[in-house]
Amino acid sequence: MTGNLDEALKLRELAKEHNRFFGDSIPLIASENIMSPLALEMLITDLGYRYAEGLPHHRYYQGNFYVDQIEEKVMELGNRLFRSRQTDPRPVSGTNANTSVIYGLLKPGDKIATPDLSGGGHISAAKFGAVGLRGLNIVNYPYDQETMTILPDEASKLIIREKPKVCLVGQSVFLFPAPLKEMRDAFQEIDAKVWYDGAHVLGLIAGKQFQDPLREGAEVITGSTHKTLPGPQHGIILGNADDNTWRSIQRGVFPGTLSNHHLNAMAALGVTMAEELEYGEAYAKQTIKNARTLASGLHEAGIMVLGESRAFTESHTLVADVRANGGGKKIAEYLEQCNIVLNKNLLPWDDNKSSQDPSGIRIGTQEITRIGFKESDVKELASIMAWAIKEMPDPAKVREKVHNLKSGFRKVQYCFGDLDAYKYIELYR
């Protein structure tokens, strides 16, 4: 037994080391965030041990009296926050939400239009992802390489010519709003279902700072809930769909692609959406300001940031081409040694390069904004990053600057209560 306890304690120590690392690092992964203490509390409730297959009041298990009330409240909050007719908070991730829509609306052999992977599309919409595994025929929209944005005129012609059953827009590198309004006539001409993958920008949409897909032509939005929407690792589907379409999507969720739906995370999502109704607009505005400030600072220091013609970004994300500095893999791994955490990323001209050794890096400002970074702090960060990328000094020298900058940011902002961000994980300090 002692040996097994040692194994458990080793895992505990690794978790403590992980928390220390991120506590001392500047987190810039565009697909991550941290929760508020009130939302985090939901994850350690008894909800995390229970099952609730199906929909409220139509369950396959007993013991769901309070779960039904929680789920209905979460659905109500989702409809209020996104001004939607329908909310399904059951998907356990953004890709699970995507797969649910795929199974609900499409059959093998159907055609779907999607963003190209090298243009920022998500892997679930690629041939080797959920779309391909469903056996769908894929056509990719033309896009502008400099802004990684769909070209609406060319895409509209493609839609009319190819007549896909579903048109998917939305990316994992989402610098600028998708041209939904400009493509609406083409969608309507072929009577396509329009699906918007808002995983990365869901919080910006909630804060009314990016675009409003449900008013611009989309019938359904999918998303993960832990990026610009600063909630738990979970998923969500939102709709202004007709009843038959929505029922098909819900069948795609259950029994199509999941059984139980992680009730503790669903409750945490509800708390997050209540906080977003209160603070989401201010949070989204500052996130975008910080992204543009960081992009400008890196650009002025000689780092090639995409999207210069449109002020680099209108979201939380910016992308830099670091081929001149050794490439995305080398820079991302070096910066990790410096306690600056971001990811390597394919760029439009990387068709023949491995995703493990791409030209670029992807940077997100949603998490540093969540802990209080403002423009002046981001300018200091840009200076540190540019120095590190261009000169690659001893990582210890960069870490010292990173620690000094990060030391002033220990509290989660834009949430109920001015509570210590790490209060609930003192075990790991």
Mean pLDDT of 373-383: 98
- Reading the block at residue 411, the tokens are 């509290």
pLDDT of residue 104: 95
- Sheet strands (E) in 246-376: 304-305, 317-321, 340-341, 343-345, 360-364
Residue 133: per-residue pLDDT: 76
Residue 98 amino acid letter: N
Q: Report pLDDT digits (tens) over 52-94.
A: 999 999 999 999 999 999 999 999 999 999 999 999 999 999 9
277 against 133, higher pLDDT:
277
Residue 286 has pLDDT above 50, yes or no: yes
Is residue 127 predicted with pLDDT exceeding 90? no
Q: What average pLDDT does the segment 307-331 reach? A: 97
In this predicted structure, the answer to whether residue 354 has a pLDDT above a threshold of 90 is no
Amino acid found at 340: I
pLDDT at 1: 61
CB 46 within 8 Å of CB 385: no
Percent of the chain with pLDDT over 90: 87
Would the pLDDT of 10 be above 90?
Answer: yes
Spacing of C-alpha 49 from chain mean position: 26
Distance CA 389, CA 333 (A): 11
Structural tokens at position 215: 């008013």
**1-5, 318-322, 357-361, 384-388: lowest mean pLDDT where?**
1-5
Q: What is the pTM of this model?
A: 0.94
Mean pLDDT of 364-371: 98
Burial class (CB in 10 A: 0-12, 13-18, 19+), 391: exposed
Q: Tell me the domains of the chain and their CATH numbers.
A: 39-275 (3.40.640.10), 279-428 (3.90.1150.10)
What is the per-residue pLDDT for 352? 74
Q: Is the pLDDT of residue 266 over 70?
A: yes
Q: Give me the pLDDT at residue 418, please.
A: 52
Mean pLDDT for 156-183 is 96
Which position has the higher pLDDT, 318 or 120? 318
Whether the per-residue pLDDT at 419 is higher than 70: the answer is: no
Residue 364 and residue 32: Cα distance in Å, rounded? 9
Count of residues making up the chain: 429
Residue 193 DSSP SS3: strand
Omega of the bond prior to 213 within 30 degrees of 0, cis?
no
* Look-up of token digits 């760029």: 347
CB-based burial, 216-234: b 16+ in 10 Å, e otherwise? bbbbbbbbbbbbbbbbbbb
> What average pLDDT score do residues 116-132 get?
78
Average pLDDT over residues 277-299: 98
pLDDT of residue 429: 32
Tokens at 167, concatenated: 């048109």
Residues 109/117, Cβ–Cβ less than 8 Å: no
198: pLDDT strictly greater than 90: yes
